[in-house]
Structure 1
């Protein structure tokens, strides 16, 4: 026999599922309903960069310097970096775009941020799988060495994107100008995420400093899963998990702190 607590929890989860689902559908229709290119751009952007790097690599004959598959190198770095960058940027406008929905008692500020972040993560995930599948099919890249480890890295970075989105949204809500500043700042941080280099290729003195950057570990993990023992990576999954939990805790606390003052307009 189910207890009252179990019944209440089940009903709450069902309501939460419906709320997030409705917000996701609204976000999809608002963003992509009138412009089909918007959804297609999720695939086009990383593919265009990959092709650009490949052509530059061939034009400069850089393949004489390294035998590493440059297509796979870019594919295992750039899309993941864009996931956390886009998720944090989109989280900034989550409240203003959905503030009228706060009239509904089941819709909370946190729900609007979750839906936007979830959409970005889902879009980036679908794009990554689709592009990788196509490039494997045409034999531009090889089959990954350890798919499970790659999935683990992607999941940890998805949690990072969510926690970062909560914090960025909270700061931007208090300081409106920060929203514009973060767009530029996140672009500057993009090269520091490890998307365009291996930590092992850096000077030893620099390695201990860049390993403090959480995104580095996600990228190194993802590449370790793809390339296997053919490359040297220096990731620490436990450090990345710890950073994720800290970001989630701080982000949820910040959202809880300001959400009570947010009123529907």
Structure 2
């Protein structure tokens, strides 16, 4: 038993080093060493979120709650960047990295995980930085319960990671996945809970809105941020089930493409 644990520990260390190396490679490949380099990792999502916040503020958008538009936009659009960017980066990720498959310790799952961690890290740093900045200038109150915010954020990230890995594996079998994902991701934005509160919907529509997994995560984040200021609706067990099912499907499809890959 101790020898088995030691072997698992060594395998985990190797896996960690491989993912770290792929992560650094991805940062240098995508952002380079010039200009502000890897800072674009979180400045880019910050610019997107800030732009949407300003646009919603100028247009006096209605969002079905008493929350300030800045707070609403931050919690909503940041969550969109979290789950939507992961599939976008995982789809088509294997082909540009086929040469790396000559190394026996590099597998498709490592490439997926490196890209998922990069996107999750960028979105999380952006969300935290903007939150602290808005709190500092008085546009936003501190979160009521940081742990609930973190829990909701983790669930959204888990969903995005499972979806990204699953679609990334499927994209190695068909080009249609990449072509269909872009319009689907834009159509999913208004359904994701970023631009509305479930409580503002008609009672008959609320239960259908909660069938969209991301809506549950956004509602949890807003509960942690605003507490009793808002009335939230979510089904944690349903979202947990969706994440587990997606993860199992993603791992199964990744194992399938791993057997069929021929390094170039």
TM-score of the aligned structures, taking structure 2 as reference length: 0.94
Q: How many residues get paired?
A: 260
Partner of 1:46: 49
Q: Are residues 1:91 and 2:90 paired? A: yes
Aligned mates of 2:234, 2:12 — CA distance in 1: 35
Residue ranges of structure 2 left out of the alignment (5+ in a row): none
Partner of 1:18: 17
Partner of 2:36: 36
* Matched residue SS, 1:94: coil
Partner of 2:171: 172
Counterpart mapping for 1:103-114 below 5 A: 103-114=102-113
Farther-moved stretch of structure 1 (115-124 vs 171-180): 171-180
* Matched residue SS, 2:152: helix
Aligned mates of 1:22, 1:66 — CA distance in 2: 45
Counterpart mapping for 1:67-146 below 5 A: 67-146=66-145
Q: Are residues 1:190 and 2:198 paired? A: no
How far is 1:66 from its partner? 6.1
How far is 1:210 from its partner? 1.2
Residue ranges of structure 1 left out of the alignment (5+ in a row): none
Partner of 1:227: 226
Aligned mates of 2:137, 2:207 — CA distance in 1: 39
Post-superposition CA distance 1:221-264 (Å, at most 9, x none): 00111110111110122221111111101110111112211111
Aligned mates of 2:104, 2:66 — CA distance in 1: 58
Post-superposition CA distance 1:64-92 (Å, at most 9, x none): x9642111011111111111111111110
Post-superposition CA distance 1:94-134 (Å, at most 9, x none): 21221111110000011001111110001100000001110
* Matched residue SS, 1:77: helix
Aligned mates of 1:42, 1:206 — CA distance in 2: 31
Aligned mates of 2:226, 2:235 — CA distance in 1: 17
Aligned mates of 1:258, 1:160 — CA distance in 2: 21
Partner of 2:251: 252
TM-score of the aligned structures, taking structure 1 as reference length: 0.93
Partner of 2:154: 155
How far is 1:35 from its partner? 5.7
Aligned mates of 2:226, 2:2 — CA distance in 1: 50
Q: Are residues 1:27 and 2:26 paired? A: yes
> What's the RMSD between the two structures over aligned residues?
1.7
How has the CA–CA distance of structure 1 residues 169 and 106 changed in structure 2, closer, same or farther, with 3 Å as cutoff?
A: same
Give the conservation status (yes or no) of the 8 Å contact 2:65–2:197. Answer: no
Aligned mates of 1:144, 1:204 — CA distance in 2: 28
* Matched residue SS, 2:59: helix
Farther-moved stretch of structure 1 (93-102 vs 209-218): 93-102
Q: Are residues 1:263 and 2:227 paired? A: no
